[in-house]
Structure 1
Amino acid sequence: MEVDGLVTALERIEHATRDFVRPGHTAESPAALLGVLAECGRALGHPYAIDPGLDDARNEASRHCAVVQENLSAVMEEVRRLNVTVSGLLPSLVRIADRE
Structure 2
Amino acid sequence: MEVHGLVTALERIEHAARDFVQPVGKPDASTALLNVLSECGRALGHPYGIDPGLDDVRSEASRHCAAVQENLAAVLEEVRQLHSTVSELLPSLVRIADRE
Q: Which has the larger radius of gyration?
A: 2
Task: Give the TM-score, by structure 1 length.
Answer: 0.48
Task: Give the TM-score, by structure 2 length.
Answer: 0.48
Larger RCO, structures 1/2 (Cα 8 Å, 6+ apart): 1
